[in-house]
Amino acid sequence: MILRRRAQQAYERDHTREEFRAKFQEDNLTGIVDNTPEPKQEKWTDGFHFIDEAL
């Protein structure tokens, strides 16, 4: 946890806390964690739809 806090402090030297939270969905300095899954992005290319290989 110490390393996570220091990494966030280093990131915030050049960025905002809101940018950190948007990118990593957590705030190690305040303990806020956002586990809300991001919407799945569909990959469409030249009329073909790529499906997950795990299927």
Q: In terms of C-beta density within 10 A (0-12 exposed, 13-18 middle, 19 or more buried), how is residue 22 classed?
A: exposed
Going by their DSSP bridges, the two strands 48-49 and 44-45 should be labelled as antiparallel
Compute the average pLDDT of residues 14-18.
Answer: 93
pLDDT value, residue 55: 59
Q: Name the residue ranges covered by the structural domains of the chain.
A: 2-49
Q: How far apart are the first and last CA of the chain?
A: 36
Q: What is the residue-averaged pLDDT of the chain?
A: 80
Give pLDDT tens digits for 30-54: 887 776 666 666 665 566 666 777 6
